Structure formats: C-alpha cells, structure tokens
Chains A and B, each alone.
Chain A
Amino acid sequence: GIQVEQSPPDLILQEGANSTLRCNFSDSVNNLQWFHQNPWGQLINLFYIPSGTKQNGRLSATTVATERYSLLYISSSQTTDSGVYFCAVSGGYNTDKLIFGTGTRLQVFP
C-alpha cells in the first residue's frame, strides 16, 4: 500500500515565525488532505489538495503530484497553531480509505 512520510516530526517556533511541513507519498493519489489536530483531539480539515496550490489565510499548501510530495506553509505562527499536523492520502481506483502519516508536532511559544 501507499506509504506516507512526514517531516519534521517535531517543530518548535516562536510566535510570528514561518514554517514548512512536508509530506512524501510513495504512489499516485486520488485524495490528499491536510489536517490539524488541536490539543483537544479534534481533527480539523485544512486542505483537500491532491494537486496544485491553495491558500487559506496564513496557511497555504502545494502538492506536486508528479513528484509525490505536498508542502504545508504556515506564516506568522500563532500559539493557536500548536498541535499535530497530519497529511493523509488515498490512492487507487477502488479505494477511498485515507492513509495517514505520523504527523508533525508543532509547538508555538509566545
């Protein structure tokens, strides 16, 4: 099955800093989603982005499907950005199940 690797595993930032999170996947995908899991455990959809670039406020994401990677950019970090960021993919013609990476744990300090 598809393998998903995320880097870095941990990231510590001061408020106001920018960061880039990476997701590599081992095969072509139909679906790629980025999630933020907040300290209360909720999984929040950030982007659905199997290819191309999207922006939402201080967050943006780019997926280069031909090279099998996706990047999540966080600009001007805030303490509320803390949590774990997951990349999840699904691939193949007959499957919808999402395969999750192990996540990047982000801590933003004031």
Chain B
Amino acid sequence: DSGVTQTPKHLITATGQRVTLRCSPRSGDLSVYWYQQSLDQGLQFLIQYYNGEERAKGNILERFSAQQFPDLHSELNLSSLELGDSALYFCASSVGGLAGAKETQYFGPGTRLLVL
C-alpha cells in the first residue's frame, strides 16, 4: 500500500458526460501528480500541483482540469467525455519541494474510466 488513495476505483459513463476523480496524497506529501495510461499513448503525465498551486502541465486536454485543495487532496475533472478518454488514471504524490528535487513518487491504485 503506497498510502495514496484514489476514488472511485471504476467509473463507467457515457460520451458527453463529466466526471470527477479524487486523490488523497500520502500524509505529509505536498505534491500531487496526475497521469493517464491509455492503450495507444502509454503512461503520460497530465499535471502537477504543489501545495495548492499548479506547478507543471503536460499533455492535458482543455476539457480536463484539476485542482488541489487546502487539505492537499486533489480532483481531476474530465468533461465532454469522448470514447478515447477511456483509460486508467493514476494519481501520485511526493514530499515536494524545489522543482527537480530527487524524490520518489508514490502511485495510487488508479481509477479505471470507461466511456461508452
């Protein structure tokens, strides 16, 4: 158990809908990361938050947004869903600090999203 929790574990929805994925980082970790694993794109970084502020952005679609709350949990919002958004979404956390610091990222169990 990495200490990172994600809910829900599974999500089935229809095209055009909006969903919210939730992540709670390990106790004491200030950085939260979101990654997407799809069959055609592999594992890709989406976005990072550090202590409530966006720190880095990857290949995140405009239909997707995220935020980190004062209690450090994070939510990833996916809207106007398309079939191609079906994927496993992982949240990871790390202690945080200076960007580029050498530290381990711990991954949650993931949320499996299926868009029909």
Contact = CB atoms under 8 A, between A and B. Distances in A.
Contact of A42 (B94, B100, B110): B110
Contacts of A56: none
B100 A97 contact: no
B102 A50 contact: yes
Contacts of A98: 33, 35, 45, 92, 105
B88 A41 contact: yes
Given A93-B99, A96-B94, A99-B45, A48 B104 contact: yes
A105 to B, nearest CB: 13
Contacts of A60: none
Interface string B26-59: 0000010101000000111100100000011010
Which interface class (under 10, 10 to 19, 20 to 34, 35 or more) fits B?
A: 20 to 34
Given A94-B99, A96-B100, A100-B43, A41 B94 contact: no
Contact of B101 (A42, A86, A96): A96
A43 B99 contact: no
Nearest to A32: B102
B110 to A, nearest CB: 6
B33 A43 contact: no
Contacts of B48: 96-97
Contacts of B110: 41-43
Interface string A93-110: 111111110110000000
Contacts of A95: 56, 99-100
A43 B45 contact: no
Contacts of B105: 31, 33, 96, 98
Contacts of B58: 97
Interface of A: 30-31, 33, 35, 41-45, 48, 50, 86, 88, 90, 92-100, 102-103
Interface of B: 2, 31, 33, 35, 42-45, 48, 55-56, 58, 88, 90, 92, 94, 99-107, 109-110, 112
18 contacts: A30-B101, A31-B103, A33-B104, A42-B109, A42-B110, A43-B107, A45-B107, A48-B104, A90-B100, A93-B99, A93-B100, A96-B48, A96-B103, A96-B105, A97-B45, A97-B58, A98-B35, A102-B42
